[in-house]
Amino acid sequence: MAMIAENISLHLAGFDLLRNINLTIESGQVTAVVGPNGAGKSSLLKVLTGDIKPTDGRVLLNGRNISQWEMREKANLLAILPQHSELNFPFTASEVVGLGRIPHLTGYGKDQEITINALQLVDASYLQRRLYTQMSGGERQRVQLARVLAQIWSPSDLGQQFLVLDEPTSAFDLSHQQMILDIVRQFASRGVGVLMVLHDLNLAAKCADNLVIVNNGVIAAHGSPDKVLSEQLINEVFDVQAVIARHPVTDTPLVIT
C-alpha cells in the first residue's frame, strides 16, 4: 500500500502550478521533496493530502481515491504538519497535542498517555502546561509536531499510515533538526510512509530514502539521494554552483556551495 499521485496536473487562476506529476510514497520510506521557492512543492503537498483537487489525474491513498475516504478514517491514516499555524488561542501544549487525538475513540486515559509520550519525543515535556501563545517559534513548531505524531501514534486497522511534513525544520536549531530526522526514521521503521518538504539539501540527503526535486511544476529528478544529487542538476534547478562531496561519517552526499 502506498500514497500514489497519478499523472497530476494543477491549473489555478491561469497558472500551470503542477504538470503531469507521478509520485509514489512507499510505506516505511522517507521521501523528501526539495526545490526552489515557487517550484510547486506546497501545491504538490496540498494536492497529495486532498486539500486541493487536481485539475487532472488522481491521488490514491492505500488504493482508494483520496477524496473518497471518509474524513475521520482518512485522519486515522494521514497526518499533516503545516508550515505555519494560525493558532492564536491560549491552549496549553498538552491541549494542542490532545487535538491530534480527535479522530480517535481511544478514551481519555489512553489519549493522555499518548499526549505525554508525544511531547516527550519532541523534547517538549517541560512545555506541557505552558500556553501556546507564549511559546517561541521553535517550541510552537515542536508542539505542533507532537500533535501530528499523536494523530498517527499507533498503527491503524484501516491501512498504512502516512506523515506529511511541510518544512518541519525551518524553526529548529541544530539539535532539534537532528531530533526530527530521528523521529521521522523511527516512524518510517514502524511502517509509516513519510513525505517532507525540506530546504536543506544536506538534511534531505542524510535522511531520505527518496529525493524528489521539483522545479517549475514538474519533477526534475527522482530517486535515491546518491543517484539524484549532481552538480549539474543543482546548477540547473537552483542556479547555484555546488560541489558534491561525501559526508565523512554517514557517507551520504554532501552539497557544498
Partner 1 sequence: MRYFSAPVLVWILALLLPVVAVTSLGVGTIAISSAEILHSFSSAVIGSSGDAQTNSILFDIRLPRILLALLVGAVLASTGAVMQGLFRNPLADPSLIGVSGGASVGASLMIVSAGGFIQAGALTGLSLVAIGAFAGGFIATIVVYRVATSNLGTSVTTMLLAGIAMGALAGALNSLLSYFSDNEMLRQISVWQMGNLSGANWLKVAVMGAVSIWLLMRLPAQAKALNALLLGESEARHLGIDVQSVKRRLILLTALGVGVSVAVAGLVGFVGLVIPHIVRLIIGPDHRWLLPASALAGASLLIVADSIARVVVLPAELPTGILTALIGAPFFVVLLMHQRREI
Residue ranges binding partner 1 (CB under 8 A):
49, 51, 71-76, 78-80, 82, 85-92, 95-96, 99-100, 102-103, 131, 151
Rg of the Cα trace of the chain?
18
Please report how close the Cβ of residue 84 comes to partner 1 at its closest, in angstroms.
9
In angstroms, the CA 59 to CA 18 distance is 14
Sign of the CA dihedral running 201, 237, 193, 71: positive
- Of 133 and 189, nearer to partner 1 (C-beta) is 133
> How crowded is residue 139: how many other Cβ atoms within 10 Å of its Cβ?
20
- Of 149 and 205, nearer to partner 1 (C-beta) is 149
From the number of C-beta atoms within 10 Å of its C-beta (0-12, 13-18, 19+), residue 115 rates as buried
List helix spans (H) across the chain.
41-48, 71-77, 93-99, 108-121, 137-151, 174-189, 201-207, 225-228, 231-238
- Of 95 and 200, nearer to partner 1 (C-beta) is 95
Please report how close the Cβ of residue 134 comes to partner 1 at its closest, in angstroms.
8
Please report how close the Cβ of residue 145 comes to partner 1 at its closest, in angstroms.
13
Please report how close the Cβ of residue 15 comes to partner 1 at its closest, in angstroms.
17
Please report how close the Cβ of residue 133 comes to partner 1 at its closest, in angstroms.
9
- Of 102 and 245, nearer to partner 1 (C-beta) is 102
> How crowded is residue 161: how many other Cβ atoms within 10 Å of its Cβ?
25
- Of 128 and 216, nearer to partner 1 (C-beta) is 128
